[in-house]
Amino acid sequence: MKSAWEVCPRLLHYALKVVNIMKSKHKTLLVIDGIINLVLGVLLLLFPAGIVELLGLPYTNTNFYPTILGAVLFGIGIALLIERYGAPKNIRGLGLGGAIAINLCGAGVLLVWLLVAPFDIPLRGHIILWLIAIIVLIVGLAEIISKT
């Protein structure tokens, strides 16, 4: 039978491996979520009407709301990447907890709209909105799982 002195270092080694894997997943999720937000933000900032029309999303008579949404998404993306890469310089951004809240709220509200008050939009618009809702929900759930 092995002594406690022989077992403890092995358990500690395995525990540190698990912690490092979780930290790696945490960092990966921050990057993935950050890039998604940056890309969507840039597209909405640069081509608000074009993106809405191209994706078959609900029409708006102004570029104000798509542009504001683009700016918010871009800011969230930057904050997530700062959280991922700013720690060595003691700079903090949007942590995984904030990202989880944003993703679940956004996906949840979009899903309610899709289920309760369907839009009068082309099929491609419905497909795009469902894909966005599902992807954002999956990212949020993956972030929750990585924290448990």
**Structural domain of residue 131, as residue ranges?**
26-147
Rounded to whole angstroms, how far apart are CA atoms 78 and 39?
A: 11
- Is residue 73 assigned to a domain? yes
Residues in Cβ contact with 119 at an 8 Å cutoff, skipping those fewer than 6 apart: 58, 113, 125, 126, 129
Rounded to whole angstroms, how far apart are CA atoms 41 and 75?
A: 8
- Is residue 15 assigned to a domain? no
Rounded to whole angstroms, how far apart are CA atoms 17 and 105?
A: 33
Give yes or no for a contact between 55 and 40, defined as CB atoms under 8 angstroms apart. no
pLDDT score for 21: 55
- Is residue 1 assigned to a domain? no
pLDDT score for 53: 84
- Is residue 20 assigned to a domain? no
How far is residue 90 from each of residues 28, 97, 114, 132, measured CA to CA in Å?
A: 19, 18, 41, 33
- Is residue 4 assigned to a domain? no
CA atoms within 13 A on the CB side of 50: 7
Q: Which two tokens stand for residue 105?
A: 């709220």
- Is residue 44 assigned to a domain? yes
69-106 pLDDT tens trace:
889 999 999 999 998 998 777 788 888 888 888 999 98
User: What total number of domains does the chain contain?
Assistant: 1
- Is residue 81 assigned to a domain? yes
- Is residue 34 assigned to a domain? yes
Give yes or no for a contact between 57 and 120, defined as CB atoms under 8 angstroms apart. no
Rounded to whole angstroms, how far apart are CA atoms 4 and 89?
A: 40
The phi-psi region of residue 91 (left if phi > 0; otherwise alpha if psi is between -120 and 50; otherwise beta) is beta
pLDDT score for 14: 53
Q: Which two tokens stand for residue 18?
A: 């698990």
Q: What is the pTM of this model?
A: 0.68
Q: Which residue ranges of the chain lie beneath pLDDT 70?
A: 1-23
